[in-house]
Structure 1
Amino acid sequence: MNLDYIVREPENITKNTTILFMLHGYGSNEQDLFSFRETLPKDWLIVSFRAPRNTQFEGFSWYDIDFNNPENFVDIPQATQSLNSIMESILKIVTHYEITEGKTNLCGFSQGGILCYALALKYPEMFNYVACLSSYPEEKLLTGIVKDKKKLEKLRFFVSHGTDDAVIPLEWGRKAADLLYDLGCYFTFREYMSGHGVNQKNYIDLMDFFSK
């Protein structure tokens, strides 16, 4: 399934252009993270996807969430379907722009971040910098992930979470540090005095991560 998306193209696109794919959170849309483009490197190609499912108030989601059931918080079949659609769309876009040598980065918030963990750890050869904001690694989406340290070595993760997150508990977010440590991945894990969102300090650190 082809996903809708918006794009910011740099002046010149070559086979070495860096491309960043953005995945928004539940009930939001493709404009949300796209606002980050103002402070991201000017020579990057930035693509922000719209999730395929409709939610209330003209928002979109990658899959349904059951807030009353932490054990089955994520609708796994829907999430898997979204992962496949994202991967298909990424490959199409990379091919369309003929970017054969460039780095491919990911940035996801909440639901989008949960999918970023799965994408990066299932297809580590595809990605480089991965930012997972206010999210957590969902075990049920991580079956069959790559565990070969050699294949994971070019991944760099930036993980951030608000200490007062009322949507995805900080404890869940912290699972990422254990997982990435066990896999031998390079990662930065940061906690901020904020709720379910990205505060200014978090934003500055995120931009710092991407500009390295």
Structure 2
Amino acid sequence: MNLDYIVREPEHITPETSVLFMLHGYGSNEQDLFSFRETLPQDWIIVSFRAPGSTQFEGYSWYDINFNNPDEFINVPQATESLNSVLESILKIINHYGITQGKTHLCGFSQGGILCYALALQYPEMFNLVACLSSYPEEKLMPAIVKDKKKLEELRFFVSHGTDDAVIPLEWGRKAADLLYDLNCYFTFREYMSGHGVNQKNYMDLMEFFSK
């Protein structure tokens, strides 16, 4: 399925141009993370996807969530379908711009971050910088995590979580640090005094990560 998205293009696009793909959280939309574009590198293509499912208040979701049952916190078939759509759309867009040498980056918040983990750890050779904000790695979406250190060595993760997150517990976010450590991945893990969101300090650290 082709996903809707909005895009900011740099003045010049070459085969070496980098692309950043953004995946918003549950109940949000493609405008949300796209607001980061002002402070992201000017020579990147910035693509922000809209999730395929709809929620109340004109929001969108990558999959349904059952808040009453932790075992069904994630609708696996829907999430898997969304993952495939994102992957397909990423490949199409990279192909459309003729990017053969450029780097491909990911940034996801909450549900979007969960999908970013699944994409990066299953297709590591496709990606470089990966930011997962207020999210966690969901094992049910990663039937096969690539354990080959050689394939994982190009990945750089930025993981952030609010200490008072009432939607996705901090403990879940910390799982990412354990997993990435076990996989020998390069990663930064930061906790911020905030709820389920990105505060000013978190934002500045994230921009520094992407501009390095």
User: Which band: TM-score by shorter chain?
Assistant: over 0.9
Amino acid of the residue matched to residue 115 of structure 1?
Answer: L
2:181 alignment counterpart:
181
Cα distance per residue 1:16-44 (max 9 Å; x no partner): 00100000000000000000000000000
- 1:71 Cα deviation after fit: 1.9
Residue 42 of structure 2 corresponds to residue 12 of structure 1: no
Partners of 2:86 and 2:145 lie apart in 1 by 17
How far is the alpha carbon of 1:203 from its aligned partner? 0.1
Question: Counterpart amino acid of 1:29?
Answer: N
Partner of 2:148: 148
2:24 corresponding residue in structure 1: 24
Give the alignment's TM-score, normalised by structure 2.
0.99
- Provide the C-alpha distance between the structure 1 equivalents of 2:68 and 2:149, rounded to a whole number of angstroms: 37
Classify the secondary structure of the residue corresponding to 1:204: helix
* TM-score, normalised with respect to structure 1: 0.99
Moved more, 180-189 or 63-72: 63-72
Unmatched tracts of structure 1, length 5 or more: none
Counterpart in the other structure of 1:164: 164
Partners of 1:22 and 1:186 in 2: CA distance: 20
2:48 alignment partner in structure 1 = 48
SS in 1 for 2:95: helix
**Structure 2 letter corresponding to 1:135:** S
Residues 101-116 of structure 1: pairs in structure 2 closer than 5 A: 101-116=101-116
- 1:62-89 Cα deviation digits (max 9, x unpaired): 0001111112211000000000000000
The reply on whether 1:94 has 2:57 as its aligned counterpart is: no
SS at match of 1:137: coil
Q: What residue in structure 1 maps to residue 134 of structure 2?
A: 134
Query: Match of 1:203?
Result: 203
**Structure 2 SS opposite 1:57:** coil
The DSSP-based 3-state class of the residue aligned with 2:34 is: helix
User: RMSD between aligned alpha carbons?
Assistant: 0.4
- After TM superposition, give the deviation of residue 160 of structure 1 in Å: 0.1
Residue in structure 2 matched with residue 125 of structure 1 by the alignment: 125
What is the SS of the residue equivalent to 1:202? Answer: helix
- Asked whether 1:59 is paired with 2:59, we answer yes
- Paired AA for residue 163 in structure 1: T
Query: 1:86 aligns to what SS in structure 2?
Result: helix
2-side partners of 1:116 and 1:77: how far apart? 17
The letter for the 2-side match of 1:47 is V
Task: Give the distance between the partners of 2:208 and 2:69, measured in 1 at CA.
Answer: 36
- Residue 81 of structure 2 aligns with an amino acid whose one-letter code is Q
In the alignment, residue 142 of structure 1 is paired with which amino acid? M
Measure the CA separation in 2 of the matches of 1:71 and 1:169. 15
Q: Distance in 2 between matches of 1:142 and 1:4?
A: 24
Task: Describe the SS at the equivalent of 2:154.
Answer: coil
* Whole-Å separation in 1 of the counterparts to 2:193 and 2:70: 24
Q: Distance in 2 between matches of 1:143 and 1:72?
A: 17
Alpha-carbon distance in 1 for matches of 2:72, 2:102: 37
